Amino acid sequence: MKIPTDKISELCQQWHICKLSLFGSVLREDFTADSDIDILVEFEPEFTPGFFKLYQIQEELSELFDRRTIDLVTLKFLNHRLRDQILATAEVCYVADEDVAWNTVKNDLPFLVVSIAKGIELVPVLEN
């Protein structure tokens, strides 16, 4: 699926979204014509959208993704049992500025380290 990054950037700026990431089947081979699109958003600290604004954002994102159903979630409402896996596999599509990008690296690093450690066997380095 083609990701309209320029349009996503405009939408994020309009709605005070500082980070937008895709996760779930949209990033995997099992993504089909009937699949929804899972989107994780983080808002600027001074912007707290209500239910109606979240619905508007969801509808606008649906327009950008060929009217597909959008499952829009924030970190606060992310499923706690799946949180680590989602954060480790999510693909960031938009970051507002360098500070947010750096915080993303710092905040996501523990999840990535754990995921990598679980996924590979650590091999000792042999000294010459």
Q: What is the pLDDT of residue 73?
A: 94
Q: What is the pLDDT of residue 59?
A: 97
Longest Cα–Cα distance of the chain, Å, equals: 63
Map out the domains of the chain as residue ranges. Answer: 5-119
Q: Is the pLDDT of residue 118 over 80?
A: no
Radius of gyration of the chain (CA): 17
Q: Is the pLDDT of residue 123 over 70?
A: no
Q: How confident is the model at residue 10 (pLDDT cuts 50, 70, 90)?
A: very high
Query: Which has more confidence, 4 or 37?
Result: 37
| pLDDT digits 0-9 by tens, 65-99 | 999 999 999 988 888 888 888 998 999 999 987 65
Rounded Cα distance, 26 and 71, in Å: 11
Q: Flag whether the pTM goes above 0.85.
A: no
Contact 70, 36 (CB under 8 A): yes
43-47 contacts at long range (C-beta below 8 A, 24 or more positions apart) = 43/15, 43/16, 43/17, 43/18, 43/74, 44/16, 44/17, 44/18, 44/96, 46/16, 47/15, 47/16
Q: What is the pLDDT of residue 23?
A: 93
Q: What is the pLDDT of residue 75?
A: 87
| pLDDT digits 0-9 by tens, 24-71 | 888 888 888 899 999 999 999 888 888 999 999 999 999 999 999 999
> Fold for domain 5-119?
Beta Polymerase; domain 2 (3.30.460)
Q: Is the pLDDT of residue 112 over 90?
A: no
